[in-house]
Structure 1
Amino acid sequence: MAKAINNYPKNDHHPFGNDCEILEQGSSNVQVDRISRFLLECPEAASSVHKYLQKNYAKSNQQQQFVQPVNSTPKRGRPLDESGGSINNGREHRKYPRKEPQQSSSPMLSDERQHQEINQATTTNRKRISFNQLKHAVSSNLPCFFIEFTSNADRNSIPTAIHASDLIFKELQSKGVLINRFTLVGWAGKKLKLGVNNKEDYAILVSTDNWPTKINGIDIVVVKPKYIPDSFALVVRYVPRDLEENFVSNEIQRTIASADRIKRIHYSYQRRTDDYRFDVKDYSEYNAVLQLGRIAIGHSWLSITKFYPGNRLAYCTRCWRIGHLRNTCNAESKCRICLENLNIDTPHMCNNESKCAQCDGKHHSLDSQCQVLKEYKDQLKEDVEDAIQKGLLQRFSPQEKSPSFERREQDFPPLTASDNHSNEKWNTA
């Protein structure tokens, strides 16, 4: 304002002509008095001051009015109170602007995201294992028994599978072999296939020699399983590492007479103690050891538990490759060690140089150190767990003993006696 007054044209004859220079000096009260007196005497100066203020401060006033409006119009639906303002009862929801996700500037976080995306893409694009292999992985059925008929037998005289199984079952019972009926009956090519679902009956059928030799006058040959299933395996745990394997094997066989195939379990990580796995042929001895729960080896009293097998691998015993079984393989039979072709006419002389059918490495085809086999096991485990979570697969284990029927008196209470032949006559009078 002082600048506007100073810009006003000076009049030497005016009594206040020199007062413009005095405005910049003296106290503030004196300046205010002189300005007010000057404006009263010179209305033209007041007009110029008004134009100056209107020109320079108009834009700032408009911005302040836009940012902070004096009066805001309430939204529809809000009742007005007596003073003209809107009533806010606190029930309405205040909307806040969305916060945009901040992009991390850290290169480590971006690298981790890229690795996660790559892993997800690899998992999505990789070839999944077939469902038949997944079913084979979780299966824990007991091995079956096969009945072979002589080649010169008349096919029309061979009984049906159901009839033949009944004849074999009755023949076994007549010779004192008490088992439950077969739970699996069918044909496998020209052979009759029989199976049971509990370990007690299986152990009895394996150990007995009272199988029939003829059915309807036709000679038969019974082929028993050549291996002991994993359901008859036990594990001795926490064996001190300073004990030699031969010593541990001898100690186990001294306690368990039917123990066989005693092997140390190899783990992929370092352990302070060792675990030993072995099979028990005698089912009664198997139960006795489990009931005892411990075994003495050297000066240690060690615990014994059941062996819980992992996922079964689908591999071929003809070409020794993983991913299929022997009955679906069209390749020629090969040696398990050197992988040379086997010929029925000429005997095979193995050079005892191991060769892997998976990676051509210098180790056995089913060696746990094979990288291809490791990747297959990891993929099989992942797919099996995924199928179990989705309800497509279930793990079953053979029964210890088939449930038997027990008659209890409270299940069949006696009926109250009633006299249905009463001599009383109806009163018709």
Structure 2
Amino acid sequence: MSKRVAEPAGSPSKQPRVGASAGCSRPHGRVVLSVGGTRFESSRTTLECASSYFSALLARWDDDAELFVDGDADAFQPLLSYMRFGKLTLPQDQGLAERVLLQAEYLGMDGLLASVKARAFRNLHPDTHHDEARPLQDAFDAEFGGLSAAIDDGVLPARYFAPVPKSPPARTIKQLWPAAPGYRALFAGGRFDHARPQWQTGLPADESLHIVSWALVEYRDGTQRVDAIVQRDLDDTRRHIGIFPEHAQLKSHLQLASEYTGPRTSDFAHWVVVPPTAPGKLLPISPGSVRGVWKQPAITREDIGSQIWIRGNTIIANGETLLVEWGGEKPDDVEGATIDYVMEVSEEDSHVRLSGDIFFDVPSIVGTSTELDMAFASVDGCTNEGGRIATKFFIPTSSHGTGEESATQLADAREVIIDGCKHFWHFSGAKREWVH
């Protein structure tokens, strides 16, 4: 909705002597001014007709006396020019411009200040329409609390010179390239572990859409990410026409996967790329689509037979104290139990068994997380009843044996150990923010 406020009835550029008093009819007497130690000369009429301060001062002036004004000579010069010609040339220097405006207020130059506030208000609200019932300077004062407050807030003199700079777009698509047939984006409300969605109670299972093309997206902070442009099924859109009114208006069914909206998407947390089902074939994955997470386990098979103490998020084993994060439910505190069995974290349902039949998931050491992009995927071409897709993800690794040249090879991500101690933990997709 546009604002309906207006500028003063007479523009200062056309009526430079706004606020003129009866003294404007007096003869053009020569006046010598001393402003901050600098000498100026002007006519009585020029000073009286633009400044209530001079109008009152000259009413009791002795024609032979030099007038002393406690002010800033540099700031007074553009004000005197305005009094003479009715046009303000506000200095670009911010500090000097501020002193000019404050001195104009001190001298009671209401016409000049009305012009400055009206111009600043128009720059702030370019959709403003004129309304004689409410001058623009009044609207400016109502919004910003007057001249001094506007200067303190940085509104003046900046908005006198130019409108508020427009913020760059939240994101810009820099490049598009087609996606090979068969690629789909899988949206899920849970997390992605072991190359498949892990559902959480109360959240939708998944939704899968065709990927039309890839997009290189640049965000406002300069970061870039590969996104996918997906297309809803046309029949599905027609069934949910009340949910997708923008599709009916724009005749478009294309959306970035990271911005996808659908009948259940408000609960979706992640999306990942599902390559075409091609058994035995390695398929490239766009950077950022699927990542692997490796962490250093706090308990390994080397700890079997040793004693362990657990106190909240702290574990003491083999005389070493570790701060850990629990992958599953945190166990009760344990005092000196023996570690009977450890199943490595890269295996399915990894866990630790202590004496006394105490079980819990293997925790990881805080601060040891490493994330890497997946380079290739291999799909077996079938899914089970839960909609899970049997997929392996691969990353390039390098090996160097004694007396051998270094070599690069692809390895199943879940079997790779990073830095000799970090084991694979889970896969993650391009994450979406929760919508509440």
Kindly indicate which of the two structures has a greater share of residues assigned to strand. 2
Query: Which TM class, normalised by the smaller chain length?
Result: under 0.3
Kindly indicate which of the two structures has a greater share of residues assigned to helix. 1
TM-score of the superposed pair, with normalisation by structure 2: 0.20
TM-score of the superposed pair, with normalisation by structure 1: 0.20
Higher CA-based Rg = 1
